[in-house]
Structure 1
């Protein structure tokens, strides 16, 4: 399998928080929110597409992120109730940005050809494009590709069913602590502000990959491990807001950044979040299992974040399987919830 996707997670949010020592009771979790899981394919000896879909259904996983429009995957999804995020891979951005007809053809081949048998929820036009990384060559193509894909969706009459966005990440933040002071790096504003304006104009959400693990290992002095794993008993105060975990803090830092960039009403979908089971600092089965279980409980409650209370946090766990063929740090190969033989790595309930 050709490698279409590499997560760039070298971002470290320095000095995210120093905990203030006030004990607070745990919030009661009520309600329900569907959990998604990303379907990564950068591994060998992985199950067939049909077996993967059966594994989703068996475990009650109702949403999936797919990183490239592979016909075998989309055909296996026909007739299921699984809702998906379908990515436009970064290498495709230039052609889609340059020619509206190419975007229309992309929608015809990868959406219309499978709809309504496949339940498309979002199209993620690009993933973690950043002017400061090796993905910077894609920066000027993201917005025009989004516009062309959106126009093709509108022309197909699917704009009320399928929402167009892009997936960004914490590396674009220049300030994240406290969350109320969250802001984008000045040198990415020219890139990100027009995207935010486009999303706001069309009432579309922003997809954000949120990884407390990488924030934690970037500043283990000031970020306690329990705060990253949802097990802290102390809270962090930010004016009148109280934070009990790093996930909420990162998410609300993005909301503050959106407000400063002209998108005060944008909603965020957490398009990736996970914890590695080996390969680096604090990467082990116990920590990863704790993170995934607590994250599911956190977002399934539907209580929102301190800054956006009451808003469900739609979240996609990364990822279904370990991906031993992935490049980068060793941790990148150990985010799977299941082994390639389809046995669960952790005891997790998705519903």
Structure 2
């Protein structure tokens, strides 16, 4: 069933939502990548997610069939705005962003199912042509949401690769790449002003395989008994250390209190060294336990971090190393590849 909301009806719908919607419990989300030629149809996905108590999903672009399958399911979504759309969203009046939202998202999905808009993905590092368009797109889409009274429901940010940090060790030395500061500073200012999160993609697996000399496998998997001491703070895993590197980098630029959302993290089950079902089970299990327990990091012990596991299924058409194709938490038949619980 298509939601088919008109722009003129959204404000009254949002008012009703604020009056009568229940508060949501803590949850761990999952990314729904679709770079594969053998994936189950979208119509089967919602029941799979509901049966496993997954309540939040990240999709990377707004495909009508996909959005329609989630409509009225009570599953909250992070919806990606494709990198290639950013020049148009940035350079046109706000009315263009408003119409784009209606035509591509709100026509298929109730707006109150949308938790986040993710503007591009890892643009600053992996797709630098689009870098100048990120922040203007963020502002235009935010103005469009304001006009619909949706800006407090739908938060906007852009997922960053961990490599936007030029220094990440020890965590207290976290520093953004100085070449990116002209883009990152206005982004942080927007996030601070509008209570939006800094979105980051965090993969201890990649850090480990690229720097085995300095990073132990147990440290990447949350298995270490040893600790890293940094300014009186103890770190027993790379995940927390990476998050606090971002905290330190933001504070270095004068921005305190911006919350973090880990928009991707995961561990491959095959395709290379340390890529195995057991390591994926251990890593993702620890990440889920940490998120559902609302545990903070050493720098922010009382601030839990929302997490999206990558990925729902293996993606057999992804580029890169073989392990890039093997991050799926579920097999194609819907059975879990390994034991991990979302609640």
The normalised TM-score by structure 2 is 0.90
In the alignment, the residues of structure 2 paired with residue 184 and residue 75 of structure 1 have an alpha-carbon distance, to the nearest angstrom, of 39
Query: Counterpart in 2 of 1:36?
Result: 29
Task: Summarize the alignment of residues 1-351 of structure 1 with structure 2, pairs less than 5 Å apart.
Answer: 33-99=26-92, 100-116=94-110, 119-130=113-124, 132-133=125-126, 135-351=127-343
Once the two structures are superposed, residues 15-42 of structure 1 have per-residue CA deviations (whole angstroms, 9 ceiling, x without a partner) of xxxxxxxxxxxxxxxxx73010000111
Q: Distance in 2 between matches of 1:262 and 1:73?
A: 40
Q: SS where residue 124 of structure 1 aligns?
A: strand
SS in structure 1 opposite 2:262? strand
Q: C-alpha root-mean-square deviation of aligned residues, in Å?
A: 1.3
Native 8 Å contact 1:196 1:262 kept in 2: no
CA distance in 2, matches of 1:175, 1:251: 13
CA distance in 2, matches of 1:244, 1:299: 16
Cα deviation digits, residues 223-245 of structure 1 (max 9, x gap): 11111001111111111111111
Paired with 1:341 and 1:41, the residues of 2 have a C-alpha distance of: 15
User: Is the Cα contact below 8 Å between 2:70 and 2:109 reproduced in 1?
Assistant: no
Asked if structure 1 preserves the Cα contact closer than 8 Å seen for 2:57 and 2:308, the reply is yes
Q: Distance in 2 between matches of 1:229 and 1:203?
A: 31
Measured against aligned partners, the alpha-carbon deviations of 1:242-292 in whole angstroms (never above 9, x if no partner) come to 111110000000111111123212111010000111122211111111111
Structure 2 residue runs of 5 or longer lacking an equivalent are: 1-24
Counterparts of 2:194 and 2:28, CA distance in 1:
25
Distance 2:205 2:100 in 1: 35
The question of whether the paired residues in 2 share the 8 Å contact of 1:43 and 1:324 is answered with: yes
Partner of 1:14: none
CA distances 1:81-120 after superposition (whole Å, capped 9, x unpaired): 1111001010111111111232111111234324537610
CA distance in 2, matches of 1:121, 1:46: 25
Distance 1:101 1:316 in 2: 31
Q: Which of the pair is proportionally richer in helix?
A: 2
CA deviation string 1:327-346 (max 9, x = no partner): 11211111111122222110
Residues 79, 118 of structure 1: 8 Å contact kept: no
Secondary structure of residue in 1 paired with 2:120: strand
* Distance across 2 between alignment mates of 1:349 and 1:195: 34
Cα distance, 1:43 vs structure 2: 0.9
Tell me the distance in 2 between the aligned counterparts of 1:86 and 1:122: 6
The TM-score with structure 1 as length reference comes to 0.88
Tell me whether 213-222 or 63-72 shows the greater mean CA deviation: 213-222
